[in-house]
Structure 1
Amino acid sequence: MTAWPPVPLRRTTVVTTMFELTRYDGRHRVRGSLYLSIGLSLLAAMVIWVYPSFEAEVDLEQLLAAYPEPILQVMGVQTMASLGGFLSFELYTFGWIILLGLYLAYATAGTIADDVDRRRMDVLLAMPISRRRLVGERFAAMAVPIVGANVLPPIVVYVGARLIDHPLAATDVLAVHLLSIPYLFACAGIGLLASVVFDRAAIAQRVALGVTFALFLSESLLTGTDAEPVGAIAPMRYYDPNAVLLEGSYDLVGAGVLVAMTVALLIAAQLWFRRRDIA
């Protein structure tokens, strides 16, 4: 006989299933994120290690003057006469804005498209989970490589700068990494939107790479021209390592814009995926 009154269902059953996809994807990204953080740390150590030789043997300002103006504009170079300016150019513009931005756009572009491409999406959609939540949880898992990439490098930069007698303020080193997180999420958002628009992972990843790099070039080349407002859609406009390391200026408004941009890209991806047919 059935007991009366019936035993109420426990809410913990629902809570334990929340973010299951995020935890699953996140666990599978931990090892790669660790390798990424170590690789970026080695890059940071190498840049800091070579700086004293450059400073002693090369006239850095004269070297900077030898670069064509378009190159300096694209790379956002202001000075290399200080370690902060050198790191902004050699490490953060190249390593964070370009390489990490492109990598995260590329990696995120496979989060949804890869399952569609490999005919695995039907299995996921058969679970008691909405399409909107599926996209959101998959995107949330990208926090693992984004945060992981910024764990070891700031320690290496701060300690390395002191070892070569060119100390940097700890708050500036921490800020340049913390402010990169909204930027990297925005780049990942570009990849997420490409991932739900295209069925084939390879196409989604190429589109994400192309769009992200095109935005970088447009922001760099349009600065100071009549078309400069067009560059407002580029995430790169709102993350400036030079301002942090050379001026100690933290653009919190820009970080807010990047957060809003990420949210907009996530919502757009969720709406698109909810309405599309899965072949």
Structure 2
Amino acid sequence: MGLDTTRYEARRRIRGSVALTSILAAFAVLVVYLYPSIAESSADIDALIQAFPESVRQGLGIEAYSSIEGFVAAELYQFLWILLLGLYMAYTAGGAFAGDIESKRLYLVLATPISRARLLVEKTLALLTPLVVLNLVLPLVVFGTTILIDYPIDPAYLLAVHAVSIPYHLVCLGIGQVLSIAFSRGNTAQLGGIAIIFLLFLLDSVTAGTDYEWLGRVSPTRYVDPTEVLLEETIRIGDAVFLLAVALLLLFASLLVFQSRDV
């Protein structure tokens, strides 16, 4: 029967995915409900933002609080959705294989009639469980809350933010998965994934708007910008396609490592 491993692994991740979605949804509601009070002093806040160096504004995705789009992009999507969820995806993927290698469980799984390639693909599909749940629930929560406070956000561009961020999160997953297969200890792969994603985010942030901006091109965060989508209504399809290609390359790299290593 096909995708048995995917179903088994996905069921194990459902509870955690629901818990994570509940926490992020509650935070999103809180952020959006704060906006009416922020809007009253948005002119002063925007003036303060404009006083920041351009590199800081670009790096942190802070452009304007005078609109609900700019506020939500900066306070919710730029930090929570891009950075923290990216760290979570790398961390989760980091334990997918290394944990099973460390506990010798993977050896027992491979003793069954299943190829390494199929096992890799099915476990990767299961890792998408939290991403699927979050992308189904969070846009509805954010959009519904903006309607309740009478500052409705454009649902088309809200969905676009989630759509273009999926390849980015797949890249984070891919980085964690490569480490998970390369190392035999779960903690090493998980912490390594977190470190790499955070350092890449930091590299993009500190070089944005400077003479060294080209260094940030190696960071996946350079190719996803919620502020640009929500505030400027600009969608860079080419960047999303590039990130998707990188994610597939990481999947292929993890397969090569998995096929060659002794577990």
Normalised to the residue count of structure 2, the TM-score between the two structures is 0.94
Report whether the alignment pairs 1:238 with 2:219: no
The answer to whether the Cα contact below 8 Å between 1:191 and 1:208 also exists between their aligned partners in 2 is yes
Aligned partners of 1:249 and 1:163: how far apart in 2? 26
Alignment-mate amino acid for residue 164 of structure 2: L
Report whether the alignment pairs 1:29 with 2:13: yes
Aligned partners of 2:121 and 2:100: how far apart in 1? 15
Taking a change above 3 Å as real, the CA distance of residues 71 and 206 of structure 1, as seen in their structure-2 partners, is: same
Report whether the alignment pairs 1:219 with 2:197: no
Aligned partners of 2:209 and 2:246: how far apart in 1? 23
Aligned counterpart, 1:109: 94
The answer to whether the Cα contact below 8 Å between 1:131 and 1:273 also exists between their aligned partners in 2 is yes
Q: Shift of residue 70 of structure 1?
A: 5.3
The share of aligned pairs that are identical, in percent, is 41
Taking a change above 3 Å as real, the CA distance of residues 243 and 74 of structure 1, as seen in their structure-2 partners, is: closer
Alignment-mate amino acid for residue 259 of structure 1: L
Report whether the alignment pairs 1:96 with 2:81: yes
Aligned partners of 1:57 and 1:229: how far apart in 2? 36
- Larger RCO: 1 or 2 (CA < 8 Å, sep 6+): 2
Normalised to the residue count of structure 1, the TM-score between the two structures is 0.89
Where 2:112 maps in the other structure, the secondary structure is coil
Aligned counterpart, 2:144: 159
Superposed structure 1 runs of 4+ greater than 4 Å apart: 65-71
Q: Which moves more between the two structures, 234-243 or 200-209? A: 234-243
Query: What 5-or-longer segments of structure 1 have no aligned partner?
Result: 1-15
Deviations, residues 189-234 of structure 1 (Å, cap 9, x unaligned): 1100110111100010111000011111112222334443332232
Aligned counterpart, 1:248: 233
The answer to whether the Cα contact below 8 Å between 1:47 and 1:90 also exists between their aligned partners in 2 is yes
Alignment-mate amino acid for residue 223 of structure 2: Y
Q: Over aligned residues, Cα RMSD in angstroms?
A: 1.6
Which of 56, 66, 71 in structure 2 is aligned with 1:86? 71
Aligned partners of 2:146 and 2:70: how far apart in 1? 13
The answer to whether the Cα contact below 8 Å between 2:55 and 2:207 also exists between their aligned partners in 1 is no
Which of 22, 43, 50 in structure 2 is aligned with 1:38? 22
The answer to whether the Cα contact below 8 Å between 1:37 and 1:150 also exists between their aligned partners in 2 is no
Q: Shift of residue 67 of structure 1?
A: 5.0
The answer to whether the Cα contact below 8 Å between 1:146 and 1:185 also exists between their aligned partners in 2 is no
Q: Shift of residue 267 of structure 1?
A: 0.5
Report whether the alignment pairs 1:202 with 2:197: no
Where 1:250 maps in the other structure, the secondary structure is coil
The answer to whether the Cα contact below 8 Å between 2:90 and 2:194 also exists between their aligned partners in 1 is yes
Aligned partners of 1:259 and 1:190: how far apart in 2? 13
Taking a change above 3 Å as real, the CA distance of residues 36 and 205 of structure 1, as seen in their structure-2 partners, is: same
Q: Shift of residue 160 of structure 1?
A: 1.5
Which of 135, 156, 160 in structure 2 is aligned with 1:150? 135
Once the two structures are superposed, the pairs formed by residues 50-61 of structure 1 within 5 Å of their partners are 50-57=34-41, 59-61=44-46
Alignment-mate amino acid for residue 178 of structure 1: A
Which of 237, 249, 252 in structure 2 is aligned with 1:264? 249
Alignment-mate amino acid for residue 39 of structure 1: I
Taking a change above 3 Å as real, the CA distance of residues 68 and 232 of structure 1, as seen in their structure-2 partners, is: closer
Aligned counterpart, 1:133: 118
Between the two proteins, the alignment pairs up a number of residues equal to: 262
Q: Which moves more between the two structures, 217-226 or 74-83? A: 217-226
Query: What 5-or-longer segments of structure 2 have no aligned partner?
Result: none
Aligned counterpart, 2:164: 179
Aligned partners of 2:252 and 2:128: how far apart in 1? 17
The answer to whether the Cα contact below 8 Å between 2:59 and 2:205 also exists between their aligned partners in 1 is yes
Q: Which moves more between the two structures, 129-138 or 225-234? A: 225-234
